[in-house]
Amino acid sequence: MDLQVAPLELKPSYTLNMGQCFNWKKIVGPNEDENWIGVINRTPYLIKQAHETTLYLNLQNKERNLNDSLIRDYFQLGINMQHLGEEFSNSCVRFSSLYRYLQGIRILRQDPWECLISFICSSNNNIKRISQMLAKLREKYGVYIGKLNSFDGIFEWNSEGNRAELSLSSSYCCDSGKEDVTNSPPRLKSIPTTFQTTPKQKQLINSQSIAGDSQPEVMTPHSRGGNDDLVEVDSKANESIVVLYAFPTVESIASATEADLRSIGMGYRAKYLIRTAQMVRDMGGEQWLHSLRLKSREEVQNELLKLPGEYSVVMMTGL
């Protein structure tokens, strides 16, 4: 399905790969085109950046593709970025000089609970390892959604206890916005998401220890680098299979033990994750976080400041 949005308004390759979210996997299509697979509110999507627009596919129910309100809200497509960019450019010389390189980037309206936990994991960390930590968190505490075999283009999931499949060979999004009804599978190729790093950053990443985790008293979401006990995974293993999980619920993290979270690489953040989840649960859970969207900016700040750590205000971008 076609979102009918120009690349100047949305470029998934920029927006999903800049470090504001960590739940999308890049895969390459039959014509070396860029695709992204991920989960939004427990719904798996395949997103394709076409030449003139952005296309998407609901991987569990093709009929639901007729209702794109969820994905449009996720990308905040109701906001005209061209007008906003011009307004910012007129008031900031620095922004004006950079704006032409930034067109297509959007701030996502993520699930506030997932956004909050992501920012806790971002403390004293880098994008590669944040992504790995959150992937481990989903795998251990999240609900299995399904898996894509990128070699034969089959997405498999459990539907009411039964195994179901969707062949992308008959549902694959093409540049025209129409479905490809050919019998040959798209042969999608899963690739590790790569990020540009400086030599110093590479040295930090390579020298990070999987033990001897330090424990600073103050968490700062803007910090990147440092030691942790996350075990690096082989990004080339099982590249043809992409497994998707829903993000863990508040209760699943609140009831976890610090030892269990440390065993999957959360490090000193483990206790912050548990304390935050317990506080969110006591204040009303995910429903409480969503209710903050209806409050004023000052009210939201006051509520979030009740949570442990300085990262609480930063996650306002998820609201």
Q: Specify if 72 maps to a domain.
A: yes
Residue spans of alpha helices (H) in the chain: 12-15, 69-74, 81-91, 93-102, 112-121, 127-141, 199-207, 250-254, 258-263, 269-282, 285-291, 297-304, 311-314
Of 174 and 18, more confident: 18
pLDDT band at 223 (very low <50, low <70, confident <90, very high): very low
Domain identity same for 131 and 266: yes
Domain identity same for 133 and 227: yes
What is the domain range of residue 80?
12-109
Looking at 55, 89, 109, the residue that finishes a domain is 109
Domain identity same for 250 and 271: yes
Domain identity same for 197 and 269: yes
Contact 220, 313 (CB under 8 A): no
Q: Specify if 169 maps to a domain.
A: no
Domain identity same for 231 and 277: yes
pLDDT single digits (tens) 88-102 = 999 999 999 988 888
State the total domains in the chain: 2
Domain identity same for 126 and 244: yes
**CATH code, domain carrying 126:** 1.10.340.30
Domain identity same for 25 and 98: yes
Q: Specify if 90 maps to a domain.
A: yes
Q: What is the pTM of this model?
A: 0.76
Q: Residue 117 — φ and ψ, nearest 5°? A: -65, -35
Q: How far apart are the C-alpha atoms of 22 and 32, rounded to whole Å?
A: 23
Domain identity same for 247 and 119: yes
Q: Residue 168 — φ and ψ, nearest 5°? A: -70, -10
Domain identity same for 128 and 269: yes
pLDDT value at residue 168:
62
The side-by-side arrangement of strands in the sheet containing 154-159 is: 162-167, 154-159, 144-149, 241-245
Residues facing 26 on adjacent strands: 36
3-state SS of the chain: helix, strand, coil percent to 5? 40, 15, 45
